[in-house]
Amino acid sequence: MMCGIAGVLLDGKGDVGLYLSVMLRGLQHRGLDSAGVALYRSEEMPGDEFIIRVFTKDVIGALSKISSAIANAGGDIRNIKLNSIRGYSFDLYTVRAQEKDLPQMIKNINATELSKVLSIGRKMDIIKDTASVEELERNFSISGFVGSHGIGHVRFSTESCVDLFHAHPFQSFDHIDVALVHNGQITNYWKTRERLERKGIKFQTENDSELIVHYIIDRLKGGDALNEALKASVEDLDGPFSYIFSTETELGMVRDKLGLRPMVILEGEEMKAVASEENALRLLNKKGVIKNVKPGEVICWKTVKRQ
Protein backbone atom coordinates (compact mmCIF):
# COMPACT_ATOMS: atom_id res chain seq x y z
CA MET A 1 0.00 0.00 0.00
CA MET A 2 1.67 3.22 -1.15
CA CYS A 3 -0.53 5.76 0.59
CA GLY A 4 0.11 9.33 1.62
CA ILE A 5 -0.35 10.41 5.24
CA ALA A 6 -0.23 13.85 6.84
CA GLY A 7 -0.80 15.51 10.18
CA VAL A 8 -0.67 19.01 11.60
CA LEU A 9 -0.75 20.42 15.13
CA LEU A 10 -0.93 24.17 15.74
CA ASP A 11 0.30 26.30 18.60
CA GLY A 12 -3.24 27.11 19.67
CA LYS A 13 -5.95 27.46 17.01
CA GLY A 14 -5.87 28.03 13.27
CA ASP A 15 -6.51 26.84 9.73
CA VAL A 16 -6.03 23.11 10.29
CA GLY A 17 -8.26 22.18 7.38
CA LEU A 18 -6.40 24.43 4.96
CA TYR A 19 -2.99 23.08 5.95
CA LEU A 20 -4.12 19.47 5.64
CA SER A 21 -5.71 20.17 2.27
CA VAL A 22 -2.46 21.70 1.02
CA MET A 23 -0.40 18.75 2.23
CA LEU A 24 -2.78 16.14 0.83
CA ARG A 25 -2.77 17.82 -2.57
CA GLY A 26 1.00 17.48 -2.49
CA LEU A 27 0.62 13.77 -1.73
CA GLN A 28 -2.19 13.02 -4.18
CA HIS A 29 0.16 11.11 -6.52
CA ARG A 30 0.58 8.50 -3.75
CA GLY A 31 -3.03 7.36 -4.01
CA LEU A 32 -6.27 8.10 -5.88
CA ASP A 33 -8.64 5.53 -4.35
CA SER A 34 -9.92 7.75 -1.52
CA ALA A 35 -9.11 10.76 0.61
CA GLY A 36 -10.05 11.71 4.14
CA VAL A 37 -9.31 13.81 7.21
CA ALA A 38 -9.94 13.74 10.95
CA LEU A 39 -10.35 17.30 12.22
CA TYR A 40 -10.28 18.42 15.86
CA ARG A 41 -12.07 21.48 17.16
CA SER A 42 -10.35 23.73 19.65
CA GLU A 43 -13.50 24.48 21.61
CA GLU A 44 -14.76 22.18 24.32
CA MET A 45 -18.18 20.68 23.66
CA PRO A 46 -20.62 20.71 26.59
CA GLY A 47 -20.04 17.60 28.70
CA ASP A 48 -23.15 15.84 27.43
CA GLU A 49 -22.88 16.69 23.72
CA PHE A 50 -21.29 14.69 20.90
CA ILE A 51 -20.83 15.18 17.16
CA ILE A 52 -21.76 12.24 14.96
CA ARG A 53 -20.99 11.98 11.24
CA VAL A 54 -23.54 9.71 9.52
CA PHE A 55 -23.40 8.35 5.97
CA THR A 56 -26.96 7.91 4.67
CA LYS A 57 -28.76 6.91 1.50
CA ASP A 58 -30.52 10.02 0.28
CA VAL A 59 -34.06 8.61 0.28
CA ILE A 60 -37.38 9.79 1.66
CA GLY A 61 -37.80 8.93 5.34
CA ALA A 62 -34.11 8.40 6.09
CA LEU A 63 -33.80 11.47 8.32
CA SER A 64 -36.84 10.39 10.32
CA LYS A 65 -35.42 6.89 10.86
CA ILE A 66 -32.09 8.24 12.06
CA SER A 67 -33.82 10.68 14.40
CA SER A 68 -35.84 7.81 15.88
CA ALA A 69 -32.72 5.65 16.20
CA ILE A 70 -30.99 8.40 18.18
CA ALA A 71 -34.03 9.13 20.35
CA ASN A 72 -34.56 5.43 21.14
CA ALA A 73 -31.04 5.32 22.57
CA GLY A 74 -31.72 8.31 24.82
CA GLY A 75 -30.24 10.95 22.53
CA ASP A 76 -31.56 14.45 21.90
CA ILE A 77 -30.62 16.02 18.56
CA ARG A 78 -29.49 19.63 19.03
CA ASN A 79 -28.43 20.40 15.46
CA ILE A 80 -28.10 18.78 12.01
CA LYS A 81 -25.90 19.89 9.11
CA LEU A 82 -27.00 18.14 5.92
CA ASN A 83 -24.60 17.47 3.05
CA SER A 84 -25.94 15.53 0.06
CA ILE A 85 -23.52 14.18 -2.56
CA ARG A 86 -24.22 11.74 -5.44
CA GLY A 87 -27.42 10.37 -3.91
CA TYR A 88 -25.96 10.02 -0.41
CA SER A 89 -25.71 12.30 2.59
CA PHE A 90 -22.73 12.86 4.88
CA ASP A 91 -24.69 14.52 7.67
CA LEU A 92 -23.29 15.92 10.91
CA TYR A 93 -25.44 15.61 14.04
CA THR A 94 -24.89 17.36 17.35
CA VAL A 95 -26.50 15.12 19.94
CA ARG A 96 -27.02 15.46 23.68
CA ALA A 97 -26.59 12.03 25.29
CA GLN A 98 -24.91 10.02 28.00
CA GLU A 99 -21.63 8.46 26.89
CA LYS A 100 -22.81 5.05 28.11
CA ASP A 101 -25.66 5.23 25.58
CA LEU A 102 -23.44 5.82 22.55
CA PRO A 103 -22.86 2.12 21.67
CA GLN A 104 -26.62 1.55 21.50
CA MET A 105 -27.07 4.75 19.50
CA ILE A 106 -24.51 3.62 16.93
CA LYS A 107 -26.13 0.18 16.79
CA ASN A 108 -29.57 1.74 16.25
CA ILE A 109 -28.37 4.04 13.46
CA ASN A 110 -26.55 1.24 11.64
CA ALA A 111 -29.59 -1.03 12.03
CA THR A 112 -31.73 1.32 9.90
CA GLU A 113 -29.89 -0.22 6.90
CA LEU A 114 -30.02 3.25 5.39
CA SER A 115 -27.21 4.76 7.44
CA LYS A 116 -23.82 4.03 8.94
CA VAL A 117 -21.92 6.01 11.56
CA LEU A 118 -18.59 7.25 10.21
CA SER A 119 -17.32 9.00 13.33
CA ILE A 120 -18.31 10.12 16.79
CA GLY A 121 -16.60 12.34 19.31
CA ARG A 122 -16.65 15.48 21.42
CA LYS A 123 -14.09 17.28 19.27
CA MET A 124 -13.36 15.08 16.27
CA ASP A 125 -15.11 14.90 12.92
CA ILE A 126 -14.01 12.42 10.24
CA ILE A 127 -14.68 13.34 6.63
CA LYS A 128 -13.73 10.81 3.95
CA ASP A 129 -14.88 9.61 0.56
CA THR A 130 -13.81 7.60 -2.47
CA ALA A 131 -12.70 10.83 -4.09
CA SER A 132 -9.68 12.96 -4.87
CA VAL A 133 -8.45 15.64 -2.47
CA GLU A 134 -9.85 18.26 -4.84
CA GLU A 135 -13.30 16.61 -4.79
CA LEU A 136 -13.20 16.25 -1.00
CA GLU A 137 -12.43 19.96 -0.73
CA ARG A 138 -15.17 20.89 -3.17
CA ASN A 139 -17.80 18.75 -1.44
CA PHE A 140 -16.91 19.43 2.21
CA SER A 141 -14.96 22.74 2.24
CA ILE A 142 -12.18 21.15 4.30
CA SER A 143 -9.97 24.24 4.09
CA GLY A 144 -12.53 26.30 6.00
CA PHE A 145 -12.16 24.23 9.18
CA VAL A 146 -10.54 26.02 12.12
CA GLY A 147 -9.18 23.94 14.99
CA SER A 148 -6.17 22.66 16.88
CA HIS A 149 -4.95 19.61 14.95
CA GLY A 150 -5.84 16.94 12.45
CA ILE A 151 -4.65 14.10 10.24
CA GLY A 152 -5.25 13.19 6.61
CA HIS A 153 -4.79 10.40 4.08
CA VAL A 154 -4.80 9.59 0.39
CA ARG A 155 -5.16 5.89 -0.38
CA PHE A 156 -3.71 3.48 -2.89
CA SER A 157 -5.08 0.03 -2.11
CA THR A 158 -3.18 -3.13 -2.95
CA GLU A 159 -5.17 -5.57 -0.78
CA SER A 160 -8.53 -4.67 0.77
CA CYS A 161 -11.46 -3.36 -1.25
CA VAL A 162 -11.94 0.25 -2.27
CA ASP A 163 -15.03 1.78 -0.66
CA LEU A 164 -15.97 4.43 1.88
CA PHE A 165 -15.62 2.12 4.87
CA HIS A 166 -12.08 1.07 3.99
CA ALA A 167 -11.05 4.68 3.45
CA HIS A 168 -8.96 6.46 6.09
CA PRO A 169 -8.95 7.83 8.74
CA PHE A 170 -9.99 4.84 10.84
CA GLN A 171 -11.42 5.10 14.34
CA SER A 172 -12.89 2.83 17.01
CA PHE A 173 -16.23 3.51 18.61
CA ASP A 174 -14.92 1.98 21.83
CA HIS A 175 -12.79 5.06 22.48
CA ILE A 176 -14.05 8.36 21.10
CA ASP A 177 -11.94 11.15 19.59
CA VAL A 178 -9.18 8.89 18.29
CA ALA A 179 -8.24 8.33 14.65
CA LEU A 180 -5.47 6.80 12.57
CA VAL A 181 -3.96 7.15 9.11
CA HIS A 182 -1.55 4.47 7.93
CA ASN A 183 0.85 3.74 5.09
CA GLY A 184 2.08 0.19 4.72
CA GLN A 185 1.17 -3.34 5.78
CA ILE A 186 0.97 -5.32 9.02
CA THR A 187 2.24 -8.79 8.16
CA ASN A 188 1.28 -10.44 11.47
CA TYR A 189 -2.27 -9.14 11.08
CA TRP A 190 -4.20 -12.37 11.71
CA LYS A 191 -2.15 -13.43 14.72
CA THR A 192 -2.58 -10.01 16.36
CA ARG A 193 -6.25 -9.79 15.42
CA GLU A 194 -7.01 -13.17 16.98
CA ARG A 195 -5.37 -12.07 20.23
CA LEU A 196 -7.45 -8.87 20.31
CA GLU A 197 -10.66 -10.71 19.42
CA ARG A 198 -10.12 -13.04 22.37
CA LYS A 199 -10.36 -9.91 24.52
CA GLY A 200 -13.78 -9.17 23.03
CA ILE A 201 -12.69 -6.53 20.51
CA LYS A 202 -14.92 -6.52 17.43
CA PHE A 203 -13.61 -5.70 13.95
CA GLN A 204 -15.67 -4.01 11.25
CA THR A 205 -13.29 -4.73 8.33
CA GLU A 206 -10.28 -6.85 7.42
CA ASN A 207 -8.16 -3.75 6.86
CA ASP A 208 -4.87 -3.89 8.78
CA SER A 209 -5.18 -0.19 9.56
CA GLU A 210 -8.20 -0.94 11.73
CA LEU A 211 -6.04 -3.46 13.59
CA ILE A 212 -3.60 -0.73 14.61
CA VAL A 213 -6.43 1.39 16.04
CA HIS A 214 -7.70 -1.47 18.20
CA TYR A 215 -4.17 -2.39 19.25
CA ILE A 216 -3.37 1.14 20.46
CA ILE A 217 -6.70 1.58 22.23
CA ASP A 218 -6.23 -1.76 24.00
CA ARG A 219 -2.86 -0.52 25.27
CA LEU A 220 -4.36 2.82 26.35
CA LYS A 221 -7.13 1.08 28.26
CA GLY A 222 -4.46 -1.06 29.90
CA GLY A 223 -2.86 2.06 31.35
CA ASP A 224 -0.24 2.99 28.75
CA ALA A 225 0.40 6.61 27.86
CA LEU A 226 0.14 7.19 24.12
CA ASN A 227 3.91 7.24 23.57
CA GLU A 228 4.20 3.92 25.46
CA ALA A 229 1.48 2.34 23.33
CA LEU A 230 3.14 3.53 20.15
CA LYS A 231 6.55 2.20 21.24
CA ALA A 232 4.97 -1.19 21.99
CA SER A 233 3.50 -1.28 18.49
CA VAL A 234 6.98 -0.96 16.96
CA GLU A 235 7.94 -4.19 18.71
CA ASP A 236 4.67 -6.10 18.37
CA LEU A 237 3.58 -5.25 14.82
CA ASP A 238 5.54 -6.67 11.90
CA GLY A 239 5.91 -5.33 8.39
CA PRO A 240 6.67 -2.08 6.57
CA PHE A 241 4.60 0.75 8.04
CA SER A 242 4.35 4.32 9.15
CA TYR A 243 1.27 5.78 10.81
CA ILE A 244 -0.13 8.79 12.64
CA PHE A 245 -2.46 8.36 15.61
CA SER A 246 -4.49 11.30 16.89
CA THR A 247 -6.37 11.83 20.14
CA GLU A 248 -8.20 14.80 21.62
CA THR A 249 -4.93 16.17 23.00
CA GLU A 250 -2.05 14.44 21.16
CA LEU A 251 -0.63 13.61 17.77
CA GLY A 252 1.63 10.56 17.73
CA MET A 253 3.63 9.08 14.86
CA VAL A 254 5.56 5.87 14.28
CA ARG A 255 7.94 4.47 11.68
CA ASP A 256 8.71 0.76 11.41
CA LYS A 257 12.03 -0.58 12.71
CA LEU A 258 13.55 -1.00 9.25
CA GLY A 259 12.38 2.38 7.99
CA LEU A 260 10.63 0.80 5.00
CA ARG A 261 7.92 3.46 4.84
CA PRO A 262 8.85 7.17 4.73
CA MET A 263 7.97 9.81 7.31
CA VAL A 264 9.21 13.40 7.57
CA ILE A 265 8.39 16.04 10.20
CA LEU A 266 8.43 19.83 10.46
CA GLU A 267 8.88 21.35 13.91
CA GLY A 268 8.38 25.11 14.18
CA GLU A 269 7.05 27.66 16.63
CA GLU A 270 3.73 28.15 14.83
CA MET A 271 3.05 24.56 13.90
CA LYS A 272 4.27 21.01 13.84
CA ALA A 273 3.53 18.83 10.83
CA VAL A 274 4.25 15.34 9.56
CA ALA A 275 3.91 13.78 6.11
CA SER A 276 5.05 10.93 3.89
CA GLU A 277 7.15 13.30 1.79
CA GLU A 278 9.16 16.46 2.42
CA ASN A 279 7.43 18.15 -0.52
CA ALA A 280 4.12 18.19 1.39
CA LEU A 281 5.79 20.04 4.27
CA ARG A 282 7.51 22.54 1.97
CA LEU A 283 4.13 23.47 0.50
CA LEU A 284 3.09 24.84 3.91
CA ASN A 285 5.69 27.60 3.60
CA LYS A 286 6.26 27.64 7.36
CA LYS A 287 9.48 28.15 9.29
CA GLY A 288 10.86 25.21 11.19
CA VAL A 289 13.27 22.32 11.17
CA ILE A 290 12.51 19.51 8.72
CA LYS A 291 13.95 16.07 9.41
CA ASN A 292 13.29 12.39 8.76
CA VAL A 293 11.73 10.26 11.46
CA LYS A 294 14.28 7.55 12.24
CA PRO A 295 13.49 3.85 11.74
CA GLY A 296 11.66 2.60 14.85
CA GLU A 297 11.26 6.13 16.21
CA VAL A 298 8.14 7.32 18.05
CA ILE A 299 7.24 11.01 18.35
CA CYS A 300 4.34 12.52 20.30
CA TRP A 301 3.15 16.13 20.20
CA LYS A 302 0.67 17.59 22.68
CA THR A 303 -1.88 20.29 21.97
CA VAL A 304 -1.54 23.66 23.66
CA LYS A 305 -4.53 25.33 25.31
CA ARG A 306 -4.90 29.07 24.70
CA GLN A 307 -7.16 31.31 26.71
- Taking residue 201's Cβ as centre, other Cβ atoms within 10 Å add up to 17
Using alpha carbons only, how large is the chain's radius of gyration in Å? 18
CA distance 66 to 70: 6
Q: Which residues are catalytic?
A: 3
CA distance 258 to 237: 12
- Taking residue 300's Cβ as centre, other Cβ atoms within 10 Å add up to 18
CA distance 119 to 171: 7
Distances (CA, A) of 224 to 15, 85, 273, 304: 31, 41, 24, 21
CA distance 190 to 233: 15
